[in-house]
Amino acid sequence: MYRIIAKTKGLSNEEWLKLRKNGIGGSDAGAVCGLNPYVSSIDVYMDKTSSDIIEQDENEAMRSGKDLEDYVARRFAEATGLKIRKANVMYASIEHPFMIADVDRLIVGKDSDGQVIGLECKTASPYSADKWKDGQIPAHYLAQCYHYMAVLNAKAWYIAVLIYGKEFKYLKIERDDDIVNSLIQVETDFWYNNVLAKVLPDPDGTEATDKAINRLFRSSKELMSKTLIGFDEKLKRRYEIDSLMDKLNTEKNTIDQEIKTYMQDAEIAENDKYIVTWKNIISNRINSTKLKAEEPDIYKKYINPISQRRFMVKAV
C-alpha cells in the first residue's frame, strides 16, 4: 500500500529537492545498490543527511532530458495506444515510509486493468545506444523501475527511451517479487543503518565512490596524523594487486607493441574478429614552460592553482 505525501505541481526545484530528503527516491535506488556509474551511495547518504539544499548545475544532457520528457511520453502513447497521465504527486510506501516515488507517468483507464502500471521516460546519447541494444536496460534504470513497483505495489513498469537522432524504443518490465524484495532489503539497510544512524556507507571501489570521497574529504589538516589500525592484511593485498597489475600491463603493452611493429605505417589492421586502428591524432597544447619564460605576466594572469590530495602507500 502507498499514500500521497505531497503534491508536486507548482513546486520550485528547491522545494522538490527538500522534499526528496525525506526518503529514498527512484533515482537514488541504483546508487544505493551500487549500480549507478555516475552517483554513489555516499553521494545519496550526504544528500539525505545534510541540511543543505544543493541545486545541481544543469548540463545540456540534463536540460534536454527534462525538456524532452513530454515528447518521449507522447511517442510512447502513440506507439502503444495506451493512455497515460502525469501523477503530479509524490508517493510513499506505507510499510516502508522512507521509500518515496515521483513517477513520470501512470497508465490509466482500462489499459491498467485496475492495477498500477507506470512509465519512466529517458533520453540517451547515440554513444550510449549499445547500452539499450537487444532489449537491454541500464542497471540503475532497472533499479529505478523496480523501486517504483515496490512503492506503488505495481504489477509492471514501462521504460521508454529516445536515443537522439537514432531511434525510439520502449520496454515493459514485469514485476519480479524476488528482485523487489531484495531491493527493499538493501534500501531498508541503507536508510536505517546509514542515513538514520549517520554512518558513512562502505566504499565499493567504483569511480563514483572515489569522486564522492574526494569531495567529502577535500583537504587534509596539515601535520594531522592517525595510527593505522586494522589495515595490514588489506595493504598487503594491495601490494599483491599492484604487482599483478604491473605484470598484466607489461603483457598488454607487449601485445600492443607486437601489433604496432606488424602494422608499421598502416593505419588499420583487421580480420573477421578484430579491427585495430593506429591513427595520427593532432592536439594543440600550450607550452607552459615557454609561456612562463617569455610572457610571465600573461602566465600569471591565467594560471589556475588546483589543490588536491595525493594518496600514496609505502612499505616501512
pLDDT, tens digit, 9 for 90 and up, residues 109-166 = 765 566 899 999 999 999 999 999 999 999 999 999 999 999 999 999 999 999 998 8
Question: What is the SS3 assignment for 170?
Answer: strand
Q: Decide if 314 is inside a domain.
A: no
Q: Tell me the pLDDT tens digit for each residue of 253-273.
A: 999 999 999 999 999 999 999
Q: Tell me the pLDDT tens digit for each residue of 273-297.
A: 999 999 999 989 899 999 999 999 9
Q: Tell me the pLDDT tens digit for each residue of 74-119.
A: 999 999 999 999 999 999 999 999 999 999 999 997 655 668 999 9
Question: Residue 199 — pLDDT band, cuts 50, 70, 90?
Answer: very high
Same domain, 284 and 179: no
Q: Decide if 19 is inside a domain.
A: yes
pLDDT for 304 equals 87
Tell me the C-alpha distance between 46 and 216, whole Å.
9
The answer, yes or no, to whether residue 59 has pLDDT greater than 60, is no
- State CA 191 to chain mean position distance: 19
Same domain, 69 and 173: yes
Domain assignment of residue 262, given as a range:
232-302
Q: Decide if 39 is inside a domain.
A: yes
Average pLDDT for 221-245: 95
Tell me the C-alpha distance between 258 and 262, whole Å.
6
Cell numbers found for residue 26: 527512484
pLDDT for 112 equals 58
Q: Decide if 223 is inside a domain.
A: no
Same domain, 153 and 272: no
pTM attached to this predicted model:
0.82
Hey, which residues does 84 pair with through a beta bridge?
Answer: 107
